[in-house]
Amino acid sequence: SVFVELIIIQASKLRSKKEDRILIPKT
């Protein structure tokens, strides 16, 4: 369904944001 696809997209965006934060070292 469309709702499931939207949830998957939002989840992927949240994961990408978390990964970006982890990959960026605090200097």
| 5-27: pLDDT as tens digits | 999 989 888 877 776 666 666 66
Predicted pLDDT at 7: 92
Distance CA 4, CA 10 (A): 10
pTM over 0.95: no
Predicted pLDDT at 5: 94
**Where does residue 11 rank: exposed (0-12), middle (13-18), buried (19+ CB within 10 A)?**
exposed
CA 13 centroid distance within chain? 3
| Collapsed DSSP state (helix, strand, coil) of residue 1 | coil
Predicted pLDDT at 3: 93
